[in-house]
Amino acid sequence: MSVLVVAEHDNSEIAPATLNAVTAATQIGGDVAVLVAGSGSSAAAEAAAKIAGVSKVLHADAAEYANGLAENVAPLVVALASGYSHVLAPATSFGKNVMPRAAAMLDVQQISEISAVVDADTFVRPIYAGNAMATVKSSDSVKVITVRTTAFDAAAAEGGSAAVEAADAKGDAGLTSYVGAELSSSERPELTSAKIVISGGRGMQNGENFKMLEEVADKLGAAVGASRAAVDAGFVPNDYQVGQTGKVVAPELYVAVGISGAIQHLAGMKDSKVIVAINKDEEAPIFQVADYGLVADLFEAVPELSKALDG
Amino acid sequence: MKVLVPVKRVIDYNVKVRVKADQTGVELANVKMSMNPFDEISVEEAIRLKEAGTATEVVAVSLGVQQCQETIRTALAMGADRGIHVLHDGDLEPLAVAKMLKAVVEKEQPQLVILGKQAIDDDANQTGQMLAALLGWGQATFASKIEMGSGEAKVTREIDGGLETISVKLPAIVTTDLRLNEPRYASLPNIMKAKKKPIDQMTPADLGVDPAPRLQTLKVEEPAKREAGVKVADVAELVSKLRNEAKVI
Ligand SMILES: Cc1cc2nc3c(=O)[nH]c(=O)nc-3n(C[C@H](O)[C@H](O)[C@H](O)COP(=O)(O)OP(=O)(O)OC[C@H]3O[C@@H](n4cnc5c(N)ncnc54)[C@H](O)[C@@H]3O)c2cc1C
Ligand SMILES: Cc1cc2nc3c(=O)[nH]c(=O)nc-3n(C[C@H](O)[C@H](O)[C@H](O)COP(=O)(O)OP(=O)(O)OC[C@H]3O[C@@H](n4cnc5c(N)ncnc54)[C@H](O)[C@@H]3O)c2cc1C
């Protein structure tokens, strides 16, 4: 058995989600290789070589891989896949975009967002917004899999010393081109890997009021998230959304402020270790999953919380 | 320009899903079924393209049991022109769906296929990307804005870090994200009119596709339940519990 992990990176650093996928790969067993497809991406390839448990890094460096376009990356994955029993990627927007394209080219039914490895052919994955867990077995010759990152610990970023091998680039498919991006920049930790997340919902009323949450977040070293309602209303950008159709998080502490607790929101945070809910409606469903519930007006409770954290 | 919109019949998003006692799947008997919410967004986008004069015809296609025709009728009531139903009673996996959609595309020759980014039942998030691969077309997934140009479309995508814009050559696949638009409700006169719009029916065999699943579902279980905890009286008690009991801050 041998597993290829398709790395997510920005040409200089490896995205943390890749480390979770490496852990899933080591649980499957056999040698673990990492593919770094990028442009001017030697630093990322070297970083991948240091990940504990990785035995080889395949490095494809060419202009067509600069922005991770699926039309260009998928054929590369397909060309390399024959040497492996499994091909994995984190279930991030990058992995979700590239892997099904590669799977279809290989005539393989992908297994999306696995949350556990049972054996080399059998995996557990959440369905219906995590309200059911399906155990599925694949008989495809190559298994193409995306990994729910919150279900696997991160592999150590240092400690490995894999060899870096050059892989041949496959050219530009000429189907899509990259125009630009508007990325949220923040000094705060990344939402999906933060130890503490504080999220606001429709109860926050506007974007300005999110400053209250940011203040608390900065005192706790937390990331800030949101419900779909808060994103749809334009209080915060789309990349804040936690839930079935947003990001899945599982921090040590999740604080839900002015969020009712719809199934779709719970799907993205119910595996958090400790959940706190602040809501003025004592019947809100969020209290059914909260370890600590505070029935209060958030406009009083959040500033008080901020003050209490100074003490 | 013709637009093809695959629409899937799924358990309504408001239904609390229950796992069957024999662990073979989830309870679907007597459960409210609706169009996958992302597919409503796709239908809306296609109709807007038609209203803007960019699209000439909107064709809704659904694959699955006989009742998928209700889902197609919903699309027709929203404003789609006609429907295609591929009748199949067993489970369908994204790869099989993509293969059948490819056959439909080859027959219909649309310039644009708009799918949902994921179906809220199986949450696979695969079908659009797979269809793009099988056709050798470009894919603009998780779209929050679509601008049609000549021979190409400029699409803004919701990605983990924020927003990204790509340009994709036509014909192309687009998959929709939540903030692309707000789907309309069908009016009563349009629901009546939709009853007269044609729906073609065919089978996987007509399309030359073997729909047999590749994955074997060994069991479906309830996830670990989370117990509700305690209510705290005030912020001071909350902070004290987080510090001393949970030890997370
Ligand atoms: C296809 C689909 C996908 C979806 N995906 C997601 C997803 O990924 N993530 C997601 O979050 N949702 C998702 N949703 C939406 C979900 O169904 C809910 O509509 C949404 O989560 C509600 O957000 P909310 O809790 O902020 O708003 P509401 O349900 O309106 O709740 C607001 C809460 O704030 C409380 N509140 C108001 N004022 C105060 C105050 N002053 N002090 C204290 N509390 C206050 C209220 O009591 C209420 O409980 C999806 C829906 C669909 C159909
Ligand atoms: C144990 C188990 C039991 C299941 N039982 C059933 C069942 O009894 N009945 C049932 O219907 N499903 C059932 N399913 C779900 C079914 O297998 C999945 O829906 C299938 O794998 C497709 O995945 P997806 O829809 O999540 O694909 P995604 O890739 O998430 O779908 C994305 C988009 O593709 C398009 N699309 C996908 N499927 C269709 C379709 N059939 N017609 C038109 N457009 C489509 C839509 O535009 C959709 O928005 C079951 C799944 C499991 C795991």
In this prediction the pTM is 0.92
Q: Would you call A100 and B226 a contact, using CB atoms and an 8 Å cutoff?
A: no
pLDDT at B122: 85
Q: How far apart are CA B6 and CA B128, in angstroms?
A: 10
CA torsion B33→B39→B45→B47, rounded to 10°?
Answer: -50
> pLDDT at residue B228 above 90?
no
Query: Which amino acids bring their CB within 6 angstroms of ligand 2?
Result: A 127, 134; B 6-8, 25, 28, 36, 38-39, 62-64, 91-94, 97, 115-116, 118-119, 121-128, 217, 220
> Model confidence over B42-76: pLDDT tens digits?
999 999 999 999 999 999 999 999 999 999 999 99
* CB neighbourhood size of B227 (10 A): 7
Considering every ligand atom shown, identify the ligand nearest to the alpha carbon of residue B59 and give its number.
2
Sort A157 into a burial class: Cβ within 10 Å, 0-12 / 13-18 / 19+: middle
Alpha-carbon gap, residue B82 to A153, rounded angstroms: 49
Say yes or no for a CB contact (<8 Å) between B218 and A175: no
Q: Which atom of ligand 2 is nearest to the CA of B64?
A: 41
Convert A286-303 to b/e letters by CB count within 10 Å (16 or more is b). Answer: bbebbbbbbbbebeebbe
Q: Which two tokens stand for residue A116?
A: 């556990």
Residue A296's pLDDT is 98
Closest ligand relative to B12 C-alpha: 1
- Position B124 scores a pLDDT of 87
For residue A174, count other CB atoms closer than 10 A to its CB: 11
The tens digit of pLDDT for each residue in B114-155 reads 999 999 988 889 999 999 999 999 999 999 999 999 999 999
Q: What residues 13-52 of chain A have any CB closer than 8 A to a CB of chain B?
A: none
The CA dihedral of A34, A238, B129, A118, to the nearest 10 degrees, is 50
Q: State the amino acid at position B30 in one-letter form.
A: N
CB atoms within 10 A of CB A60: 25
**A16 prior amide bond cis, ω within 30:** no
Chain B closest CA to A27's CA: distance in Å?
Answer: 20
Name the percent of chain B lying above pLDDT 90: 95
CB A198 within 8 Å of CB A220? yes
Query: Which pLDDT band holds residue B225 (cuts at 50, 70, 90)?
Result: confident
Nearest by CB to residue A112, choosing from B123, B172, B218, is B123
Structure tokens at A6: 């398709």
SS3 A273: coil
Q: Which of A181-185, A216-220, B201-205 has the lowest mean pLDDT?
A: A181-185
Measured at the CA of A96, the angle between CA B135 and CA B149, to 5 degrees, comes to 55
Rounded to the nearest 5 degrees, what angle is found at the Cα of A64, between the Cα atoms of A63 and A70? 150
Chain B CB contacts of A111 under 8 Å are: 215
| Phi-psi group of B181: left, alpha or beta (phi > 0 → left; psi -120 to 50 → alpha; rest → beta) | beta
Q: How far apart are the first and last CA of chain B?
A: 58
- Identify all chain B residues contacting A101, using CB atoms and an 8 Å cutoff: 129-130, 132-133, 139
| Distance in Å, CA A31 to ligand 2 centroid | 33
Answer yes or no: is pLDDT of A113 > 90: yes
Give the separation between CA A122 and CA A133, rounded to whole angstroms. 13
Find the length of chain A: 311
N-terminal to C-terminal alpha carbon distance within chain A: 54
**What are the pLDDT digits (tens) for B171-197?**
999 999 999 999 999 999 999 999 999
What is chain A's mean pLDDT, rounded?
97
pLDDT value of position A311: 72
Task: State the CB neighbour count (10 A cutoff) for residue A192.
Answer: 24
Do residues B114 and B142 make contact, with C-beta atoms less than 8 angstroms apart? Answer: no
Q: Give the Cα separation of A209 and A223 in Å (integer).
A: 16
**Across B226-239, average pLDDT:** 95
pLDDT at A224: 98
Q: Which two tokens stand for residue A45?
A: 């390839």
Q: How confident is the model at residue A91 (pLDDT cuts 50, 70, 90)?
A: very high
The three state secondary structure string of chain B is: CEEEEECCEEECCCCCCCECCCCCCECCCCCCEEECHHHHHHHHHHHHHHHCCCCCEEEEEEEECCCHHHHHHHHHHHCCCEEEEEECCCCCCHHHHHHHHHHHHHHHCCCEEEEECCCCCCCCCCHHHHHHHHHCCEEEEEEEEEEECCCEEEEEEEECCEEEEEEEECCEEEEECCCCCCCCCCCHHHHHHHCCCCEEEECCCCCCCCCCCCEEEEEEECCCCCCCCEEECCHHHHHHHHHHHCCCC
Tokens 């909260």 -> residue: A290
Q: Hey, what are A258's tokens?
A: 């002015």
Residue of the nearest CA to atom 32 in ligand 2? B118
Rg (chain A; Cα; Å): 21
Reply yes or no on whether the pLDDT at B227 is more than 90. no
Share of chain B above pLDDT 70, in %: 100
What 3-state class would DSSP assign to A230?
Answer: helix
- The pLDDT tens digits of the residues spanning A292-304 come to 999 999 999 999 9
Strand order in the sheet with B2-6: A176-183, B162-169, B152-159, B138-148, B172-176, B112-116, B2-6, B57-64, B82-87, B199-202
